[in-house]
Amino acid sequence: MAALWLAAASPASAYELLRVHHDPCARQDRHLFWSPPTVAVSVDPLPDAFKGLVAEAWDVWNQSVPGFRFNAGNGPACTRDGVAAVSIAAQACDLGAFGDALAITRSVWKDSGQLVDADVTFRSDTFVLGDADTFRQVAMHELGHVLGLDHSDACGASGAGTLMRSVLTPPLLVAPQADDVSGAQFIYPSASNGGGDGTVPPGANSCAIGPPSGVGLWPLAAIPPLLFWRRLRRGN
Ligand SMILES: [Zn+2]
């Protein structure tokens, strides 16, 4: 009976949220959000061939999540200017080596969870740059981090079939999937509420949630490498 009850109570969603103290599984912690619920994205640092693909990537998020808006902006790579700049480089913003990651989003936030900057770097030696559809998918994944999502498989779920899975596997995805959209809509439930307030109501995301305890001043923090998409399959 206990097993049946656990099965029935298992969460319908796998999505996980970026949180103030870096641990997506600490569901009592505040999650990260933009307020107002929008961020400008700069493709200025990118070669022309990639600019339109990033715009397509944010457009499908905009179509999927009415409460949040990516807008076109301008700005250089890796600058803490509140603009999400996308670039290609040998090293990620503030973080150095990529390890086995294909791309890394570096976010900066306040102790309230309010995001103040996020920048995306694709590594310059990845096969992703040679395939437009794969590049667009990875851009969509990184923009999911920009808006506040962590990896769907960060806390035990498989994340299979979701955009926010930490591992890039076939088939290619052309849009955020239902679970990804649920996560984003949890952070930004509507276009009129001004975004999340950093707290999670009881019962959401499978756990009873309360306000964080003992959280004092927390400095603006650089996020550690978020994306460890390993190259399981190489494109032709
Ligand atoms: Zn990632």
- What pTM does this model have? 0.79
Q: How far is the CA of 222 from the centre of ligand 1 (A)?
A: 15
Q: How far is the CA of 227 from the centre of ligand 1 (A)?
A: 3
- Looking at the structure of the chain, the number of domains it has is 1
Q: How far is the CA of 138 from the centre of ligand 1 (A)?
A: 8
For residues 118, 137, 99, 79, the Cα torsion angle rounded to the nearest 10 degrees is -20
Q: How far is the CA of 236 from the centre of ligand 1 (A)?
A: 23
Q: How far is the CA of 10 from the centre of ligand 1 (A)?
A: 24
Asked if residue 236 is part of any domain, the answer here is no
The model's pLDDT over 155-180, given as tens digits with 9 standing for 90+, comes to 999 999 999 999 888 889 999 999 99
What is the spatial distance between Cα 178 and Cα 125, in angstroms, rounded to a whole number?
Answer: 31
Asked if residue 43 is part of any domain, the answer here is yes
The model's pLDDT over 65-80, given as tens digits with 9 standing for 90+, comes to 999 999 999 999 999 9
In sign, the C-alpha dihedral spanning 196, 202, 206, 212 is positive
CB atoms within 10 A of CB 236: 5
Asked if residue 230 is part of any domain, the answer here is no
- Residue in the block written with tokens 């998918």: 137
Asked if residue 31 is part of any domain, the answer here is no
**pLDDT of 233 higher than 60:** no
Q: How far is the CA of 62 from the centre of ligand 1 (A)?
A: 19
Q: How much is the average pLDDT of 2-23?
A: 68
Q: How far is the CA of 86 from the centre of ligand 1 (A)?
A: 14
Asked if residue 9 is part of any domain, the answer here is no
* Mean of pLDDT over the chain: 80
pLDDT of residue 133: 95
CB atoms within 10 A of CB 207: 15
pLDDT class of 191 with cuts at 50, 70, 90:
low
Asked if residue 202 is part of any domain, the answer here is no
Find the domain containing 59 and state its range: 38-193
SS3 for 81?
A: coil
pLDDT class of 141 with cuts at 50, 70, 90:
very high
The model's pLDDT over 100-136, given as tens digits with 9 standing for 90+, comes to 889 999 999 999 999 999 999 999 998 899 999 999 9
Asked if residue 6 is part of any domain, the answer here is no
Neighbours of ion ligand 1 (CB under 5 A): 226-227
**pLDDT of 213 higher than 50:** no
pLDDT of residue 13: 66
Asked if residue 91 is part of any domain, the answer here is yes
Q: How much is the average pLDDT of 21-39?
A: 95
Q: CATH code at 164?
A: 3.40.390.10
Q: How far is the CA of 1 from the centre of ligand 1 (A)?
A: 37
